[in-house]
A and B are shown apart, each in its own frame.
Chain A
Amino acid sequence: MDIILAAVGDAFAWQALLAIVVGTWAGIIIGGLPGLGSVVGLTVFLPFTFGMSTITSMALLIGVYCGSVYGGSITAILINTPGTPQSAATTFDGYPMTQEGRVDEALGWATFASFFGGVLSCVILIFCAPQLAKFAVNFGSIEVFALICLAMMCIVGVSKGSVMKGLVCGMIGFFLSMVGSDPITGADRFTFGSYALSSGLTLIPVVVGAFALSEVFVRFSSRDDPGAKIPEAKLRLPRLGEWFKRLIELVRGSLIGSFIGALPGTGAAAAAFISYASAQKLSPRRDRLGQGEPDGIIASESSNNAVTGSSFIPTLALGIPGDVVTAMMMGAMVIHGITPGVRLMVDQAQTVYSLFVVLIIVNVAMLILSKPSIGLFRYLFRLHQGYVMAAIVIFSFIGAATVRGNPLDLVVAALTGILAYALRRADYPLAPLVIGMVLGPELESSLRRGLLIKRGDFLEFFTHSGISMTLFSLLALFIIWTVWSGIAQRRQSSANAPRAESDATK
């Protein structure tokens, strides 16, 4: 008990609280700017933490991390440009709501869902970390492959109108992710003998091109259209009754996020897509999904923020970083003399407990700071649209360049922007492109590792373990359900069509 009180004391020290406020606010702003995401935010703040105490520096970094994951949703909702790849799924319903004039409501749901997901995952982290870590270890290559296949299903759901067009874009994304080194043999592929391409294409430049730059082009081409103005950012948090009605959605999204976060190597963007795919099947309002339904925002935002808490599970319980961001946090721990690993919970219990408390305070701070941050964006977006778009282009390129300091990424961002603009003009959905790009590398490498383990026998995947059997059965159900509802819908519409015609002739 003493140790817990001491930990709470550490977390409520004024330095830590100040670091939380500064970090969270900066995180929200950085996340909200397209191109600048969690990794850039942490890279900027990492050097400052060298001189701070352990808890203060962790507080600053956790604040930046959680804030940036939430901040991405603000621009996703306001201008159809996710500030970070993690928020790409928020655009599906966030932007349609904005177009309907429900900005305040959309931002309110995004804020509340982020807060809810973040807090629930903290609770899970505190109470079930060892158990969940033990379970996550059972997710080997084959299980991960099955899980990613399930997530890929969400391409079908987000390609409104034409599944074919969605699949084409998904494949383009998948193909882009394959450029560079082969994950198994290390050989170069699709590089056309160019050394610059051998390091592959990374996610940020592609996302920046596909969403931010193409949005700028679209707005430029319709600049005289008064309807294309950026709406005023407002925030209205959902009332108790409203969120109680959608409690199941909030809990499901948060649980999916918490679980995905506990698996090493997946991350928040994948969690948001998987959660969105499940909302497409399970939400009671699934028919409206993609046309401006808060459930879509909840699915995306509750799960991506739930990853922030649970990505510490493999880090704390096994010493395995869940993603790039937690890998950086582990680096920061090492600098302060904490060795992450299996014995961390035992040797450094006080630090670990203060980390839990910090995580919860950060989420509360996020909720409180959401209003002033959105106010700042309202102020920024009140400028002439030309200035806002110019700033978006600048930040997009800065973001693309800072990821790994490779000039090639600027070219990639520009080319993806042009390609994405052409695709949008031809009514191709862009989300599948990003889904393919996010999930592609893990899909490929888990499949190929699985084949190596099973010595080339794919059929053994299905009988590998209880988990893989369950996941593959779910996948089969998913496919049957989608095909079945597609046929049923077509039948219904063809049955309605003649009636409508006969009505018209009357």
Chain B
Amino acid sequence: MKPVRRSMILLMLAGTSHTAFAQDTLDIIVPFAAGGATDIVARSFEPPFSDNLGVTSVVRNVAGASATEGTAEVANSEGNPNIIGYEPAGALSIQPSLKDLPYGPDSFTYICRTTSNPMFLMVSQSSDIENFDQLVAASQEEPLLYGSSGPGTLPQLAVAALVGESDLEASHIPYSGSGPAMNALAGDEIQIMADTETILANYDLRPLAVFADHRIEGYEDVPTIGELGLPEMEFAVWQGLVAPKGISQERKTQYSDACKATLESDRFKSFAEKAKAGIAYLGPEDFEAFVKQRYDANKQVLRDVGLIE
């Protein structure tokens, strides 16, 4: 019996030391697998962020279920001041409307928005379509197909909203990611795709319009959706930091100050330039209002296209 008892005591000791140290390490949850586009940004964000906070951080990838798995883990850690999530737009503003999730837009303490990139409507460079009117005309002759990186993702929502508001005739084909969708676009299986500048530049595509309220630097000749005589539409791929509910106001301020300082650091700025991530800081209150506004807007689109009741 003695060895068992001893090992139990050892285990308890190990347990207590763990909780003691946990004060000084921060868990940064990335709800995607290591090496993905969001993960890369999060891992570049982490070192200056940790320096600013004065803690050691561990980036932990909890992937699955359209990024809701890791997001749920953050939401479920209520009151834990040592866990935050580096979250993509979809998991916060689309998935809660689509699925029965253990969290909703009210389940978090919002820290800051880090980056935001507007989405472009684009076609293959080899197509003859030069502008939005030609696209509509072509789709009237024969309905077109648009791709996305999966069901209920921003690329689907953006084009679906556009189809709902204009004379564009197009139906949706979901792929398992941006890569396969780009392959399909190159092989003319689909004709339309909405995504960010990164995709646009990497794959040498032709932008027809931008889902923003103003023209984008570097793409001055690309009109906004509003300029095409349609209602204004804003779709952007953004990321931000959230913490669980129930953390102290002091901790929240620490986080958001560190976030702001990180986004202003040269180290992160030079990375963002390389990775074409548009830094777009929003403070806690603004970010919370922004997420809730996006949540409602996306929910309306989902309802319009019939993905939810």
Contacts and interface: CB of A to CB of B under 8 A. Distances in A.
Interface of A: 39, 42-43, 46-47, 50, 136-141, 180-186, 188, 195, 198-200, 202, 264-265, 314, 318-321, 324, 327-332, 334-335, 337, 339-343, 404-406, 441, 445, 449, 452-453
B174 A42 contact: no
Given A186-B307, A405-B61, A453-B145, A314 B44 contact: no
A284 B76 CA distance: 59
B151 A186 contact: yes
Interface in B187-228: 187, 189, 201-204
Given A265-B180, A320-B183, A342 B203 contact: yes
Task: In the A-B complex, list the 10 residue pairs whose CB atoms are closest, starting with the nearest.
Answer: A328-B35, A341-B202, A199-B64, A186-B151, A199-B65, A331-B35, A140-B189, A404-B63, A137-B187, A320-B179
B156 to A, nearest CB: 9
Nearest to B101: A195
Contacts of A200: 64-65
Nearest to A40: B34
Most buried by B among A138, A184, A265, A319: A319
A198 B179 contact: no
Contacts of A199: 64-65, 68-69
A210 to B, nearest CB: 20
Contacts of B100: 188, 195
B204 A186 contact: no
Interface residues of B, number: 53
A106 B100 CA distance: 51
B154 to A, nearest CB: 13
Nearest to B205: A342
Contacts of A452: 145, 171-173
B155 to A, nearest CB: 13
Contact of A332 (B35, B70, B171, B179): B35
A343 B307 contact: no
B22 interface: no
Nearest to B204: A342
B34 A46 contact: yes
Given A140-B189, A195-B102, 9 more contacts: A47-B43, A185-B307, A318-B183, A329-B35, A335-B43, A339-B202, A341-B203, A404-B63, A452-B171
B187 A327 contact: no
Contacts of B87: none
B201 to A, nearest CB: 7
B45 to A, nearest CB: 12
A324 B174 contact: no
A42 B39 CA distance: 14
Most buried by A among B37, B72, B151: B151
B184 A404 contact: no
Contacts of B163: none
A328 B176 contact: no
Interface string B229-264: 000000000000000000000000000000000000
B173 A43 contact: no
B36 A331 contact: yes
Contact of B174 (A43, A184, A328): A184
A139 B184 CA distance: 8
Given A181-B66, A184-B151, A265-B179, A319 B203 contact: yes
Given A46-B34, A264-B179, A327-B36, A180 B202 contact: no
Contact of A320 (B65, B182, B189, B201): B182
Contacts of B65: 180-181, 198-200
Contacts of A330: 35
A50 to B, nearest CB: 8
Contacts of A138: 187
A410 B184 CA distance: 36
A264 B151 CA distance: 19
Interface in B255-309: 271, 274-276, 307
Contacts of B72: 195
Interface string B40-71: 10011000000000000000111111101110
B225 to A, nearest CB: 25
Contact of B66 (A43, A186, A320): A186
